[in-house]
Amino acid sequence: MKRIRVIDLNKNFRKYCHSVKRAGYWLPFSLLLFFTSFVVQTTNAQLRAAVVKVDITPSDPQYLLGYQERKSTGVLDKIYHRIVAIDDGTTQFFIISSDICLYSPSEYDKVAARLQKQYGINPLNVWWSVTHTHSAPEVGVTGLYGIYMGERMKHEIDAAYTSMVEQKLVDGILEARKKLEPVRLGVGWGFSQANINRRALDVNGKASLGMNPDGPVDRRIGLLRFDKADGSPLVLIANYAMHGTVMSGANLDISGDAPGVVSEYVEQKIGAPVMYINGAAGNLAPIYSTYPNWRAGHLTQFKVLLGDKILEANKRIKTGIDELKMVTGSLTVETPRKPGMDWSADLAKYSTTKAGVNMVKLPVRFLKINQDIAIWSAPIELFCEVSNEVRDRSPFSHTFYFGYTNGWFGYMPTAAEWPHGGYEVETVSPFTDAAAKDLTEAVVGYLQGNMKTKTPAVTPKRKK
């Protein structure tokens, strides 16, 4: 194992001072400081990681987000925060996946600011994603969802439940910091046909929510696995693009939907937590979608359709990486806002005006792991064509997109989909047809430039 070597020059420095004094010279104070604080980082530190799984199932009925206004009457399966902490010896990075539908970016800002103020955690190093199940409670202010779907948000958001979700997230991160242990990392790909393009086209070329077997799709499963020192798995991260909509608005039971069921199934098989990270699922549905209950929607079949495919791919992963360096990055993509669209007050910092045109300021995050893994994320429901193109043009052999991360602005369809109209284009997008290209070129440029050449920076000592 390679370690950080600190060169203690005190002994030699004392000898030098003694000889200088005998010679009758004086030593500048700046040189004194140089000698007494000189540290050389010669090699990387041992990779460490931890995982925490926290139950966020409510104990009372809650309004569910994702369809019409409706309140839960029971619990089909529990929902969780799954939190992974990664430490490369210089940087601690946290990935959270929560079994909820979506939340406003201002909710992320609120929690990230608390983590930074109280615990010294850099917001760039905290990614909070959601599985996008449509059978989970609302969290935080309504944000743009309240602009798009005001008729669904006429009730009060449960502040107590939101507070509980926030507190358990913070507590889980702090627990993960304490549980860090030496691990090895492996990376790989899988394949599953559990999803399908949901932009059904009629004879007039107009789109509606349905199934389009000829439409664009992304069926790759991106996998990251951390193994303990004894070779047993610590946690498996599975990145797959698919809406959490097996069950429709007729379902009133709280559930993680297909992402939650698959996670629990694979956990039981491998004996370790599984973190499901959704991808560019804006135009991708599960192949069984919007059924009135779990039986009609063949919910358990996703254990085979996706769960077994994750298990097959997991067997091929070799976890040989025990030293790594992480590099984080960010950029803001400014793209025109849809004309005439209102904006949510809690998101004022994400809007600007240039030459009389209202612009959306879309935050994008990046994580580089060594020289061959790149992950990027954005707070949107992205159409899969964009993440597919970014992956194809990326200089990194493993490029993953984490969707629904650090909030939600709505859908970002590609320019080719705008003439077809439909729900994603007309109802729940703040963007214009220029947005997908703006994002694609900005992300590819960043990956090919900044992230390819950027090296780890020296960071201040972390707070305990």
Q: What is the mean pLDDT of the chain?
A: 90
Cα(185)–Cα(236) distance, integer angstroms: 10
pLDDT greater than 80 at residue 35: no
User: Per residue in 323-369, pLDDT tens?
Assistant: 999 999 999 999 999 999 999 999 999 999 999 999 999 999 999 99
Does 372 have pLDDT greater than 70? yes
* CA terminus-to-terminus distance, the chain: 24
pLDDT at 407 over 90: yes
Query: Which distant-in-sequence residues (6+ apart) come within 8 Å of 305 by Cβ?
Result: 192, 193, 194, 287
Query: In Å, how far are 246, 288, 434 from 300, measured between CA atoms?
Result: 10, 11, 40
For residue 456, the model assigns a pLDDT of 57
* Cross-strand partners of 375: 367, 400
Helix (H) or strand (E) segment spanning residue 49: strand 48-55
Tokens standing for residue 113: 């600011």
Adjacent-strand bridge partners of 455: none
Predicted confidence (pLDDT) per residue in 233-281, tens digit: 999 999 999 999 999 999 999 999 999 999 999 999 999 999 999 999 9
Rounded Cα gap, residues 282 and 380, in angstroms? 8
Could you report the per-residue pLDDT of 140-199, keeping only the tens digit for each?
A: 999 999 999 999 999 999 999 999 999 999 999 999 999 999 999 999 999 999 999 999
pLDDT at 5: 33
Q: Per-residue pLDDT averaged across 407-431, rounded?
A: 98
Cα separation, 434 vs 429, whole angstroms: 12
**For residue 291, what are its two tokens?**
């059924």
Q: Which helix (H) or strand (E) holds 259?
A: helix 257-270
Report which of 25, 22, 87, 103 is spatially closest to residue 50, judged by C-alpha positions: 87
Binned at pLDDT 50, 70 and 90, residue 45 comes out as confident
3-class DSSP assignment, residue 406: coil
Residue 377 is inside which H or E element, if any? Answer: strand 373-377
Tell me which amino acid residue 419 is. Answer: P
More confidently predicted of 9 and 218: 218
